[in-house]
Structures are given as structure tokens and as C-alpha cells.
Structure 1
Amino acid sequence: MDNSLLENHGDNMRLYFLDNGGNRVLSAMSDGSNIKVLVDDCCSGPDGIVIDSARGHLYWTNMGEPSRNDGFIMRCDLDGGNVTTIVPPGMTHTPKQLAIDQRGSHLYWCDREGMRVMRCKLDGSSLETLVQTGYGAYDQADARNWCVGIALDLERQQIYWTQKGATKSNTGRILRAPLNAKHNDALSASRDDIETLFDGLPEPVDLELDTATATLYWTDRGALPLGNTLNRSRLQDRVKAEMHSEVLLGGFNEAIGLSVHSDQNVAYVSDLGGAIYRVALDGSSSTVVLRITDKLTGIVAI
């Protein structure tokens, strides 16, 4: 594959990423060099990661043991110091992808087995549920209710999220709703302001919204031909009820993490096979910048 479009694009960035298999938080230069282990204890199934660049903090979610309702969210400095718990075990079930509103001082995340979209202040206070897709064991057994990926459009005050669906069922969805709508009941069936943008997807996972180009990107860990892919949809091209999506690149080993940088024409994708890919945003070229033996989940590049 021609990698010429990737040369001199993004090599000076730093990657922060999560090793789900080894329960570690790591960083490396975006060419794969200078790998550092930032945190190698306190983790339990790390999955979603964000950077608060203004305050020099890194936040990440820990799924815990899904059957135990013991997920939690932690924070550390960018060098791995001052590790602290923000949302303690039991307050969120299985937290997945994480997003941040630095100006509004909020964290947002999807809770998979908790079947909800949640947020709190950066210090863990004011915990609340924004969307609830089901209650109880019966609903929890249906993976169509599992909320996984999340993205924010703060300018338009909208929130996007994925509901993964079961393996090889093609029941994954991407949805959108007002960010700060006031509802007495967060149950999605009780809300009339939730919009389904895509359905029938293999298993959509992490989301990124590039507000500069009004483009939504997502990874999909599902089965071929549309799974194990990086995808996008240009939201400004929406002229009818159905939206168009395109596969930018396939061939991942269960693609999970995603960090998009349109100013450098690059996205970074991590997968459960232990690889990090640098991908041109037109899908024309890609390269593996790092490969380790464990399962990689969330990633962010700054």
C-alpha cells in the first residue's frame, strides 16, 4: 500500500492508549517510538481515554468485570503521576468510550451493560444519566441496548453514540440527541428527540466527530465485509432521510480506538490485535506504527 500521503503527517504527535489485556495506560510518539508505561496498576479492563490538555490530565474508563457492576473512571497526570479515582466502582457498570467538554468541565461516556449514556463533572460530582436504553437483566441480555461509543458536538449541543448489537447480527446503530434536553425519564423509549442515523451496522464501536468538516467517523469490530473497518459519513451531505456512509479502510483485527485529526489528514486506529494504525483520511493509505502483544482499546493523539 502506498504510504506516501502519510509521510510527515502526524509523526510529531504523542499517542496515549490503553492496553486492555495488560491493564496498562501507555504512551508513544506517533511513529511508534519512545514507548512509555504510564500506569500499570489500578486498571481493570481499560477502554476509553481522553486528554484534558488545559489541566494536563488524562482520564480513562475501566470496564471492570461486566457481571459485577464494578466499572470506574480514573485520572492521572500526563506523565502517569497522581493517579486518582474520579468515579468509584459501582457508580457506572461497564464504562466504555469517554469524551470531554473541557470548557464545561464535564466527562461523558457510554455504559455498556448499564445501557446508558452518562456524564459527570471532572471531579466526579454531579453524576447523571442522559439516556437509558433499558432496565433489568432481560434488557441487559440484548446487546442492541449496549451503549459503547460517544462523541460530542458542543457547538450544536448534540451528543452521538453507538449501540453495538450482538456479534454477527448486523443490529448496530448510531444515534443522536440534544445534549442538554430536560427529561423526567432518561429511558429512550420515553424520549421523542432521539434520532437514529444508521442502523443495520455490524458492530459499531468508537466514534469521532470532526466538527470542522461535519464528518462522523467510527470503528466497527464486527464481521466482514463491513466489519473490522474505519468508516465515515459527511453530515453536511445529508439531503434526505437516509445518510450515506463509506468504508475508508478494512482489514483490522477488531478495530476499537479512534483519534481523528483532519488538519493533518490522519486518523489513528487501535485494535484488539495489538496494533495502532495511521490512516489517511481519504482511506488511500495506511501504516502500522506500533504493534504489541496485548489487546489495545482507546487511543488519543495530541
Structure 2
Amino acid sequence: MAYWTDVGSSTIKRLHLNTSKEELLMNGCIADSTPDGIALDIHSRLLFYTDTGKKVIGVTSLDISYHATLISKGLDQPRAIAADPGRGYIYWSDWGLQSSIKKARMDGSGQQVVVNTGIGHWPNGLTLDAYGQVLYWCDARADSINSVDLVLLRTTVVHRKKGSHFFGITHLGDDLFFSDWTKR
């Protein structure tokens, strides 16, 4: 399956890769809804999402039988989200007045700031190296890709290129893959 958000139609969808059948998982046509980031926990069969318009973080089961708002306080413009099922956490970026990266337990409790300094106001994509306990994010305003060691809470600029607009990021093994809107 491939999962994605469509901010234009305020929906979360998936595609069965073997049949090319598209399914609507969540229709956010409620006023001000803008589902943005998603993260899967394939073991628990849960999809976590951010909704920038409604300023919430929610969860839905992949069979759509369960849906809940996990976090509705302390959010301004939640964007990207990553899940760490092994340790029981979700991480998200927030573009708000005080841009930050935060974490909470997968039930929404125990909200904590992970990084709130050195962020250029547009922290986009997140990807988690759960084994190395490193969280990476794109910062479109700072033209950089950054990381934070989740044990030492030490941040590092991994890559910077002036004029870039880094947006999405993921990793496989030791490699990072990212998108850049200016380079298309």
C-alpha cells in the first residue's frame, strides 16, 4: 500500500499497489481541515496524522474502524510526523510562532519539546532512525537538513544548500533521501 495526504481535497488516501485501487481513508471536508503529515505503525495497524487546519494530531486504524484526536492543545501549525512504535512515541514538527519539534507517547500523553532552538520556522519532513535514535528533519526556511540525537539531544546540520526548499525526507540504512521544491 501507498499512503498520502492531499491538502487540496483535505483527504488521506491509500493505493493498493497490486490492484491500483485507490481508497479514501479520511475525508476532512470539515471546515478548516488540512491533513498534512502521516506516519504508519504497521505493527499496530495505525496511521497517525497532523491536521494543520484543525490544529490537531490524530490517529486512525488502517481498517477505519477507529479514529481519535490524540493532541489538541499546544499545537499551532503541526506539519510532519514520525512514529517510533518500538519506544511508543510520535514526533512532529510545528511551524507556529515558536517553531519546534515535539514528541508524545502514542496515546498523546506526555507532550515534550525535543528541539525549539536553531529551527528556521519551516520544519517540514521528518524521518526517524529508530535504531540509531536519530531524528532528521528538513528546514525549508533555513535551506538545511538537520538531525537531533534523541539520547544526547544534540542537533547537527547534516546538509545545507542556499536557495533550496527541502520538503520531504526519508532514510534507508545509512542513506537519506529528500525532495527539494526549487530543484523539482
TM-score, normalisation: structure 1: 0.56
User: Which deviates further from its counterpart, 38-47 or 79-88?
Assistant: 38-47
Q: Which has the higher strand share?
A: 2
Letter in 2 for 1:157: Q
**RMSD of aligned alpha carbons:** 2.0
Partner residue of 1:220 out of 166, 175, 180 = 180
Tell me the percent identity. Answer: 23
Tell me, which stretches of 5 or more residues in structure 2 are unaligned?
A: none
Aligned: 1:21 with 2:4: no
Structure 1 residues 27-77: Cα deviation after superposition (integer angstroms, max 9, x where no partner): 11226721111111358211111111111111111111xxxxx52111111
- 1:122: which partner in 2? 106
Q: CA deviation at 1:79?
A: 2.2
| Rounded Cα–Cα distance in structure 2 between residues aligned with 1:146 and 1:154 | 23
Partner residue of 2:166 out of 204, 210, 217 = 204
- 1:104: which partner in 2? 87
Structure 1 residues 127-161: Cα deviation after superposition (integer angstroms, max 9, x where no partner): 01110037xxxxxxxx9332112111222221211
Q: Say whether the 8 Å CA contact 1:61–1:73 is kept in structure 2.
A: yes
Partner residue of 1:177 out of 148, 152, 161 = 148
Partner residue of 2:43 out of 25, 48, 54 = 54
Aligned: 1:40 with 2:30: no
| Rounded Cα–Cα distance in structure 1 between residues aligned with 2:19 and 2:99 | 35
Q: CA deviation at 1:200?
A: 2.0
List structure 1 runs of 4+ shifted beyond 4 angstroms.
Answer: none
Q: Say whether the 8 Å CA contact 1:133–1:145 is kept in structure 2.
A: no
Q: Secondary structure at the match of 1:194?
A: strand
Tell me, which stretches of 5 or more residues in structure 1 are unaligned?
A: 1-13, 65-69, 135-142, 166-170, 183-192, 229-302
Please identify the structure whose Cα radius of gyration is greater: 1
| Rounded Cα–Cα distance in structure 2 between residues aligned with 1:181 and 1:92 | 25
| Rounded Cα–Cα distance in structure 2 between residues aligned with 1:44 and 1:25 | 11
Which one has more relative contact order, counting CA pairs under 8 Å at least 6 apart? 1
Q: Say whether the 8 Å CA contact 2:99–2:120 is kept in structure 1.
A: no
| Rounded Cα–Cα distance in structure 1 between residues aligned with 2:111 and 2:140 | 24
Q: Which has the higher helix share?
A: 1
- 2:77: which partner in 1? 94
Change (3 A) 1:162 1:62: same
- 1:152: which partner in 2? 128
TM-score, normalisation: structure 2: 0.88
